[in-house]
Amino acid sequence: MGTVNIANSKGRDAVVGAQSVVKPMRVRWVDEQGRQIQSVRLLMADLSHDLAALEARAGGRDKIAHALIDGDPEIDLETFGSVLNQTSRVFINPDGQIVHKVRQFEIIKNPDGSERERRPRKVAQPNGATETRLKWSGKLMKKKDV
Amino acid sequence: MEFAVEKTMQPADIVLLLLTQHAGIGSNTIIMAKPLVLAFGGVEIPLARAKVERSDLYGFVDVETLDEKGRKCALATLAQDGKSIIPPGGTAFASLSPEGNWLEKKSLIPTDAQGNRIAPVASSYAGPVNLERTAGIEEYLSHDIRAVYQISSEGNWGALLDELKKGTIYAFPYSFRGGLEPDAGFLLVAADGTPFLAVGSATKLEFVGLEQSAAVAEEEEGADEGDESIDFGMM
């Protein structure tokens, strides 16, 4: 459950928890024996085997054609078809390498696609409860009152 | 998509032709939209539709990501091995049996939550859609509309327009490709008389429930009753 610390100007604070409502499954896929099947995501292709990579490796697009007839340079038999479980989203540069430090800009465009405004993107700071603990109000209360 | 393959071409030339067509070079394919045909008052009315996008009205925001050298960056997926970079379209979904065996999609059976088989619905573009049911404004507003199309027709649809201008809303099951569950389609006119097709699904308000009280452990007999105050600073 995600939690958020909130407080008013007088320092009175609380932890608010939030939980998503789980949507009921409306369609279940079963096999011919009526058993629930499982869906998995598979690796189909990666950047090191795409058209640009093959072209660079072969030395020209016309040579890729010969390579495709002679073998399967676009397939990595060791990894393609493997199940993907924990993946991450990353930024890559035009060379296909992971970029760790990026600058982002918001480009506001008119309905016709022309640029109206360009500004650095503001990333909202997360406000979920982290290391910040609730503050003690300093008040002592009777057991019967709480 | 058609390819002009000549008899004199070598296999490598054919593969090269396929590659260039796949990359979108020299492609001149034109896809014509199939009209939605509505049946109203014994007349079949073919409708052309133009999607009304929010960005057409207000514009849109693009996010540009640059590296330290000012080059544009793109989003990709990093596999769990930490080295395979997967471009968009580099993954696929598959269905596996409980034993982990590959299953063809066509061999699977769609069922509802009770295990009853679901009959697929045909595409709304496969044949005329009968306009028989009207909906009230309450029903329309209880739907989450996700697409709006401005519609037009060169057919004889004066009678339908007249009916819509009276404030009538026609409702019908709508499915673009066909599938398991049709969306809800509503035919209605705006205040200026422009006809629209709105497509959405019924909203479902889920009642989460009242906050449950935490269980309170009973105090042991003989607990220190002398100390009446709770010092929150000790917690």
Q: Is residue B207 scored above 70 in pLDDT?
A: no
Per DSSP, B220 falls in state P
CB contact under 8 A, A87 and B79: yes
Rounded to two decimals, the pTM is: 0.66
What is the pLDDT at residue B126? 93
Per residue, what are the HEC states of B124-150?
A: CCCCCEECCEEECHHHHHCEEEEEEEE
Task: Please answer whether residues B88 and B95 qualify as being in contact, where contact means their C-beta atoms are separated by less than 8 angstroms.
Answer: no
pLDDT of residue B233: 44
Q: pLDDT value at position A123?
A: 83
pLDDT at B5: 54
Q: Which residues of A touch B89 (CB under 8 A)?
A: 44-45
The stretches in chain A having pLDDT less than 50 are none
Q: Is the pLDDT of residue B1 over 50?
A: no
Query: Nearest-CA neighbor of B172 among B38, B68, B54?
Result: B38
Instruction: Provide the H-helix boundaries in B145-228.
Output: 158-165
d(CA B13, CA B77): 33
Distances from the Cα of A80 to the Cα of A43, A141, B85, B86, angstroms: 5, 64, 12, 11
The pLDDT, as a whole number, for residue B210 is 63
pLDDT at A141: 87
Contacts of B75 in chain A (CB under 8 A): 89-92
* Beta bridge mates, A119: A106
Report yes or no: B135 and B145 within 8 Å, Cβ to Cβ. no
Tokens of A8: 């008013």
B168 or B23, higher pLDDT: B168
Contacts of B85 in chain A (CB under 8 A): 46-48, 90, 92, 96, 98
Q: A10-19, A72-81, B19-28, B113-122 — which is least confidently predicted?
A: B19-28
Q: B63 in contact with A at a CB cutoff of 8 Å?
A: yes
B19 Cβ under 8 Å from any chain A Cβ: yes
Neighbours of B172 (CB within 10 A): 18
**CA B9 from centroid of its chain's CA atoms:** 43
Look at B91 and A123; give whichever has higher pLDDT: B91
The two beta strands, B36-40 and B129-130, are parallel
For residue A63, the SS3 value is: helix
Reply yes or no on whether the pLDDT at B187 is more than 80: yes
